[in-house]
Amino acid sequence: MAEQLKNLYSKKFIEKLANKIVFIYSDFQKKDFINSIFDNTWQDLELKARMRHIAFTLHKFLPFSYDKQIEILKEVKEDFGGLEAMIFQDFVEVFGLEDFKESLKALEVFTINSSSEFAIRQFILKYEDETMKHMKIWAKSSNEHIRRLASEGCRPRLPWAVALPKFKQNPTKVLEIIELLKNDKSKYVQKSVANNLNDISKDNPQIVIDFVKQNLGKTKELDWICKHGSRTLLKKADRNILKLFEFEKSHHINLTNFCYDETLNLGDDFNFSFELNSDEILGNIRVEYVIHYLKSNKSHTKKVFMVSQNEIKSSSKKFIKKHKFKDMTTRKHYIGIHYISLMINGEEFIKKEFFLNDTSN
């Protein structure tokens, strides 16, 4: 079993944190700090709750004004990076909302080799115009981590984060950031821009369709952003977006030799294969399969999975795939009839049922 993310905050991590603080602030009560972290609530706390608990404990054991606390934490942060370092941004989110200027300076420092994408959202909610103006400055930074923050921090639907309702309704200010970053040479930034567009597409699909119309075909990097930013619309088989990416043609394709497991056991791979044939070259095609999962109420819910999306310069192509039916924290499988369907350029070509067994009893 994979290590739980919350265990990033191990005893070793907390001791390293405390030792770094003592090096900077010699009167730091290291032993009491560590004991306060590992109180009787610790084991039950999940990742973000542990971040918040550490932030509150840091505040308690750094008996200074906020600007002095931040001065110390900036030095401490130099020895930390990645997800574990987001305790520093969380500190700013909790204790810095009343000091806009000092806090945005801190988040700019803390985002390097980590990310301030969660913390900045509270400042957007409280100081929308001022924060978005500052993020335009970040979008022009020489540091890719800071430029990425300008995009990632204002995503309307950032996972694990508080939503930005105003930007879900009207993403105009977000698009101003995207315009500044759409030609960025950093893949790290490009991914964030694409993810931001994909967020926007869920509430304002036409805005993303228009963006693709205006930007597709300009550069290889921008083409990638357009396609990755359109992935939800492509999965929904939006005819406008399919046409823009030249995935509208499918009448010339025949699907043959579809073989699949008609029954399988929970935990097994579901195997299937098929061939695509044509009297001409197959051309630019998007091939997907859809699993129609049985739900507890006996209805079905579907999830789309990618097989291939590229130009095939031959008149036939065979595909062999497998899909695991194993219970996960994000999906529970129910015993009974499920369905698989195959989609080519947004059109369903075939749909078959199969039966999932449970051999655990």
Determine how many CB atoms are found less than 10 A away from the CB of residue 349.
17
Q: 313 is written with which tokens? A: 């310069």
pTM for the structure as a whole: 0.90
Provide the CA 156 distance to its chain's centre, in angstroms: 12
Q: Residue 317 and residue 66: Cα distance in Å, rounded?
A: 63
CA distances from 110 to 70, 75, 90, 104, 115 (A): 10, 10, 10, 10, 7
198: pLDDT confidence band, cut at 50, 70 and 90?
very high
The half-sphere exposure of 213 on its side-chain side, counting CA atoms within 13 A, is: 9
Beta carbons of 339 and 270 less than 8 angstroms apart: no
Q: Residue 334 and residue 267: Cα distance in Å, rounded?
A: 12
Catalogue all structural domains in the chain, each as residue range(s) with its CATH number.
5-244 (1.25.40.290), 254-357 (2.60.40.10)
Most distant CA atoms of the chain, gap in Å:
80
Q: Residue 313 and residue 315: Cα distance in Å, rounded?
A: 7
User: Which pLDDT belongs to residue 360?
Assistant: 65
User: Which pLDDT belongs to residue 338?
Assistant: 98
Give residue-wise pLDDT tens across range 66-123.
999 999 999 999 999 999 999 999 999 999 999 999 999 999 999 999 999 999 999 9
Residue 1 has pLDDT above 50, yes or no: no
CB neighbour class for 204 (10 Å; exposed up to 12, middle 13-18, buried from 19): buried
Q: How large is the angle between the packed helices 100-110 and 86-95, nearest 10 degrees?
A: 170
Beta carbons of 163 and 157 less than 8 angstroms apart: yes
User: Which pLDDT belongs to residue 50?
Assistant: 95
Q: Residue 358 and residue 324: Cα distance in Å, rounded?
A: 14
Give residue-wise pLDDT tens across range 18-65.
999 999 999 999 999 999 999 999 999 999 999 999 999 999 999 999
